[in-house]
Amino acid sequence: MTAAISVRGLTVRLDGNLIVDGVDLDVAEGEWVTVIGPNGAGKSTALRAIGGLLPHDGEIHWHGTPIARLHRRERAKAIATVMQSPVVPPAMGVYDYVLLGRTPYIPPLGRESASDLAVVDEVLAALDLEPFAGRRLDTLSGGERQRVFLARALTQGAGILLLDEPTSALDIGHQQEVLELVDRLRAERGLTVLATMHDLSTAGEYADRMILLAGGRVVASGTPAEVLTEANLAEHYRVRVRVIDGEHGPLVVAVRGNPNATV
Ligand code: ADP
Ligand code: MG
């Protein structure tokens, strides 16, 4: 089966520094793959490159088609990206911001159609954001704003969602709310999800497969149980952890002490 997204030899240099170094990954249609790794590992950079937001070397295929062959609009209809802290005009209204997701469907110099507005209404309803439609973005809480970012990405109508730490600004309750929402949308709409996440236990609960990135390279990949091992985490995060069997995957708990000591 052709992967929804297939990445080979992804390499990104920023200011002459090698930040992403030959990354290979595949995400099957409908699958949820989460990239983890210590701060500075290159997770955001890799995701931005896959989303077409950074120049890079290597090959990215979308359902077998080289993504470089897609026009910008076609690419936006295929892949929607939610960056970690999107820059938004603070005075912008929620409705107008979510409508921006329809940009690839609106002809140059044209206006949005009734069907574009219908998509916005439908997404706002699906994400329980109708009460916020008339609010300014800068009046929202972190959790509300995160749902609005997701709404903008969903109105893009893309089958692939790239999410860079979608829950890092949220408390544990709102984290779960957003992740459950993404998972529900994935089931209902057949979305494919490639995310980066910080919280390892939570990452493992939602991902079908995980990729551990360190120093710009893939150092482990597989099921959450295969990646979230005490040895992998000690080596790449320099932390002593205990991994416990949880209901939905391994639960990772940091344990005080020197990671290099033999206990
Ligand atoms: P992560 O998301 O895994 O924390 P990033 O992809 O944000 O990591 O960053 C990876 C590395 O790239 C970091 O060491 C960061 O300092 C570096 N970096 C990011 N942007 C630039 C830049 N414009 N020039 C040089 N280095 C950069
Ligand atoms: Mg990052």
Q: Quick check: 14 pLDDT over 70?
A: yes
Q: Ligand 1, residues 14, 23, 50, 163: which to mutate, most atoms within 8 A of Cβ?
A: 14
Q: Strand, helix or coil at 187?
A: helix
pLDDT of residue 46: 97
Q: Which residues contact 158 (CB under 8 A, 6 or more apart)?
A: 76, 77, 78, 79, 80
Q: Where are the domains of the chain?
A: 3-254
Ramachandran area for residue 10 (φ above 0: left; ψ -120 to 50: alpha; else beta):
beta
Q: Cβ distance 66 to 2 under 8 Å?
A: no
Q: Is the pLDDT reported for residue 263 higher than 70?
A: no
The amino acid sitting at 15 is D
The H or E element spanning position 96 is helix 94-99
Residue 164 beta carbon below 6 angstroms from any ligand 1 atom? no
Q: Which CATH number fits domain 3-254: 1.20.1560.10, 3.20.20.70, 3.40.50.300, 3.30.2320.80?
A: 3.40.50.300
**Token digits for 255?**
């344990």
Atom of ligand 1 nearest to the CA of 165: 2
What's residue 38's pLDDT?
Answer: 97
Span from the CA of 19 to the centroid of ligand 1 (angstroms): 7
Predicted confidence (pLDDT) at residue 154 exceeds the cutoff of 80? yes
Per-residue burial over 124-149, b if 16 or more Cβ lie within 10 Å, else e, is: bebbebeebbeeebeebeebbbbbbb
The pLDDT tens digits for 244-257 are 999 988 999 999 87
Query: For 195-202, what is the mean pLDDT?
Result: 95
